[in-house]
Structure 1
């Protein structure tokens, strides 16, 4: 069973609601293209599921995210504007990040209902396995995307991780955020 996951303050979600999606989507597009290019194992491991559209419903954020691995696409949408999708994953930001970074076992997050799936569960399993194999690290991906500003980005992300308790970097099994 997963440890108690941190809770994102509700005010943060409210503060993000009025922000325009265009700049967020530009960053998400660049980040996703980089991750797919740097970690080709993701698409190989997804196989036929790479063409699925994954709706990622982060319940404590004002947006949903549509991931289409085959086109390296990730876009944010307003909650009232749900795009067509094959699979819907629902959970908190903390649960998604903990699974992505290996801080919590993905199966345990699903069994504890911290994450829920609607639709093609085999596609979700393939996505989770692909992410595990790629050993994604959001802090390193953001730092690489920032180019010469990578070191300051790493420091900001590390500070945000300490303050929030969110898993913002890959865990090696010996770390604990608490």
Structure 2
């Protein structure tokens, strides 16, 4: 079994949520309720993203900065998102439900792009190391240099 499939797990967690958002926006009663329940799968992807966020950044300052930015973005999103449910759209709140579906889709697309970028960077670093062969010499005490991931040629992104 192939390892390092965290981004695929996050994407798999988003697929039912996207289907659920579509059901909520396009149906009524029982199917919309099923859609609501399906949208509850979004935390599967979110918790996976949190773990990958920490492991895909090198350098202590950059790691803290990325974590803070992620937390701020998540918080701002949670503050703003209820504002999409406007009284004028009651009782179906169609625009809010469409916004939910669009956001779930864009997050999933972003995860696919991230995975593609990470695979490409890992492959390029592996090829660079292979081309240099015995000439490849890592920096002495590199683990203590606190280099960010873009500068640390030994760093590999978690997928």
On whether the aligned pair clears a TM of 0.5, the verdict is no
Relative to its length, the structure with more helix (as a share) is: 2
The structure whose Rg is larger is 2
Relative to its length, the structure with more strand (as a share) is: 1
Alignment TM-score, normalising by the size of structure 1 = 0.25
Alignment TM-score, normalising by the size of structure 2 = 0.27
